[in-house]
Amino acid sequence: MGEATPLWAPIALLGALCALGLAAAVLDAVLSGLPTASHPGDAVESPLRSGPLSAAGDPFREAARLLVQQRRRTSLADTLLVRVGVCGLLVVAVLAGVVLPLGDRPVADLAAGVVWFNAMEVGAWGALWLTGWGANSVYPLVGGYRFLAQGMAYELPHMFALITAALGAGSLRVGDVVAAQRGLWFAVWMPVAFAVYLVSALAMAFWGPMRGPVGPDIAGGVRAELSGPDRLLFQAGRHLLLAVVAAAAVPLFLGGGAGPLLPPWLWTSLKTAAVLALLVWSGRGLPTVRMDRFMWLSWLVLIPAALAQLLVVAVVVG
């Protein structure tokens, strides 16, 4: 593993991810508080809406409410599986972030870092399905199955986008991918891969138009029966997942910490915040895409486009 990782690195990663997740929640609340946005999607989550400024406090109020709320139980629930699922979502998000450099080097500089990131975030499949299954209730189960269908659609284009970045660098190590972008960001000369990555990022965090698995049409889907601290953990995991996918776009496509004047860690944070804001903003106002339509789009448009991009990169690099 090379030289030892400083002790503060994991703590810094955790802190950065939590801050980003919270920022995403606040931004989402503020956007939903704006008078122009009339999306009913997350209305359940912020009942105290009255203007954007007051809405900024909604996530904190909601968290405090959930912390003291008493748990609601369903009959014959598989509590063990629900717990594994709810905590798993949080755990895979943090583990996926382990290979992302905050500044110069990541917490764990793995030789197959890109594969590690991919393997960890696929864990969200398991987490969501377990949460949906364990409650022994209809709507969460429907939500769990919806996420599997969505996963089938987004995972292949997502993998191709990741592989394209790795191919451009000729290495699976995230640090090498960053180093390969000294001259030109991958987002500039692999725009298709970057776009595919962003779409799959939304789908992975079941955010915005891909919120089907937790959609209001099935009463909150996977999280319908979650209450109290369980629900808080699940929401935190979802926001952390969105944060970590946004953060991964920076070393993979946006040149990592490279930039004039400012230190690398600040550039990384700024770029991550920009991607995160883009993802959160794009989620507002767009209608929910049904899984089968997304599957159609994914297999007939995204995968061929990603493959063509892969071919172009292979020709340029080779």
Q: Provide the 8-state DSSP code for 302.
A: I
Nearer to other proteins, 26 or 112 (CB): 112
Q: Which of residues 160-189 bind other proteins (CB under 8 A)?
A: 172
Residue 280: both structure tokens together:
């959160």
Binding residue for other proteins (CB under 8 A) from 148, 233, 295, 312? Answer: 148
What are all long-range contacts of 152-156, with beta carbons under 8 Å and residues at least 24 apart? 152/295, 153/203, 153/291, 153/294, 153/295, 153/297, 153/298, 153/299, 154/199, 154/200, 154/203, 154/204, 154/210, 154/294, 154/298, 155/122, 155/200, 156/298, 156/299, 156/303
Contact 292, 267 (CB under 8 A): no
How many residues contact other proteins, by CB under 8 A? 26
Residue carrying the six token digits 């960001």: 185
Task: Give the range of 40-48, 77-85, 233-241, 297-305 binding other proteins by CB under 8 A.
Answer: 77-85
Nearer to other proteins, 130 or 276 (CB): 130
CB of 169 to other proteins, least distance (A): 13
CA distance 199 to 216: 21
CB of 222 to other proteins, least distance (A): 14
Q: Which of residues 103-142 bind other proteins (CB under 8 A)?
A: 110-112, 115-116, 118-119, 122-123, 125-126, 129-130, 133-134, 136
Q: What's the chain's length in residues?
A: 318
CA distance 294 to 210: 8
> Which of 142, 118, 116 is CA-nearest to residue 128?
142
Counting contacts by CB under 8 A, is residue 279 touching other proteins? no
CB of 111 to other proteins, least distance (A): 5
CB of 122 to other proteins, least distance (A): 5
CB of 115 to other proteins, least distance (A): 4
Binding site for other proteins (CB under 8 A): 76, 78, 80-81, 84, 110-112, 115-116, 118-119, 122-123, 125-126, 129-130, 133-134, 136, 145, 148, 151, 155, 172
